[in-house]
Amino acid sequence: MSEPIRVLVTGAAGQIAYSLLYGIAKGDVFGKDQPLVLLLLDITPMLPVLEGVVMELQDCALPLLREVIPTDKEDVAFKDLDAAILVGSMPRREGMERKDLLKANVAIFKSQGEALDKYAKKTVKVLVVGNPANTNCLIAAKSAPSIPKENFSCLTRLDHNRASSQVALRCGIAPNNVKNVIIWGNHSSTQYPDVHHCKVNVQGKDETAFDAVKDDAWLKGEFISTVQQRGAAVIKARKLSSAMSAAKAICDHMRDIWTGTPEGEFISMGVYSTGNSYGVPEDLIYSFPISIKDKNWKIVDGLPINDFSKAKMEATAAELVEERDTALSFLGV
């Protein structure tokens, strides 16, 4: 057995974490022979709830889980981390301006970025889930100057999985037969789910999404808006935000960072945009098609982009530039 790795989940008393922690602790993410120490961070009023989560993790009797440390202190939570999954953020309350939401989250992710900088390993892999995820991720990365920007990513895998699933449902096949959908841009309703490079395996034969679906109007219209609005649709139905599917996407994202992506396949992740070949503005966390090897991600270059896609990629980039500039004004940068 290898040495235990230290994995932090923030917002650990919340409903996404409740769906997430079991998957991590039983080895779905970091491997079936990788022991773990789980650090669970939440705000002080949530500590009694967190104790219940700790009890349940103990009661699962999982062989890989060596220790569970619940805390409300950043110096404890961020110490010597190998992986940090930042789920906790200030949720949008009724009547709250987007600007107020950004301001509250800038404070949280600046503080957590500084804690990463001060206490975590320099090799730590950081996944930001709490919304607005792209901009929160950028703030955390900027607040941790001693950790490479490449170690930070934000979650757009839920959108990616939603897109794959919608195509699969439409074709009457299993979602693992749909490869290489792309989510471009922001994890918001301006994101662009793109199937122009997608491969769909129908009865053992690879086809383009357009050939497999045979409904261009749906792929360029309702499909895109369904994926963009899916989070809101789940809230409307459940009166709670996506938790099970978000947790699954977090597991997929972190597992791919740890073990890599299959040859010829790519997934979607929000990563640092500087130096990209698609004309996306520098200094953003923007979702691109990504391949991963040896724990290092690479933007998949050279995909042809038509005018339809270009316009949608630019619209989501414009939203991210505006979010970034507002957030940085709160940072006093």
- Which positions are annotated as active-site residues? 187
Distance of alpha carbon 141 from alpha carbon 148, whole angstroms: 8
Query: Which residue is listed with tokens 């230290």?
Result: 6
* Secondary structure (DSSP) of 96-109: --HHHHHHHHHHHH
Quickly count: other Cβ atoms within 10 Å of residue 325's Cβ.
11
Residue 105 assigned as binding residue: yes
Tokens of residue 162, six digits: 């939603």
Residue 332 assigned as binding residue: no
Residue 206 assigned as binding residue: no
Residue 42 assigned as binding residue: yes
* Cα-only R_g, the chain: 19
Distance of alpha carbon 240 from alpha carbon 221, whole angstroms: 26
Residue 93 assigned as binding residue: no
Provide the terminal-to-terminal Cα distance of the chain, rounded to the nearest Å: 46
127 touches 250 (CB < 8 A):
yes
Residue 162 assigned as binding residue: yes
Buried b (16+ CB within 10 A) or exposed e, 287-313: bbbbbbeeeebebbeebeeeeebeebb
Residue 92 assigned as binding residue: yes
Phi, psi of 101 (to 5 degrees): -65, -45
Residue 181 assigned as binding residue: no
Half-sphere exposure of 290 (CA within 13 A, CB side): 30
289 touches 197 (CB < 8 A):
yes
Closest CA to 53 of 81, 30, 87, 79: 87
Tokens of residue 207, six digits: 């086809």
Could you list the residues known to form a binding site, using ranges.
42, 92, 98, 105, 129-131, 162
Could you list the residues known to form a binding site for NAD(+), using ranges.
42, 105, 129-131
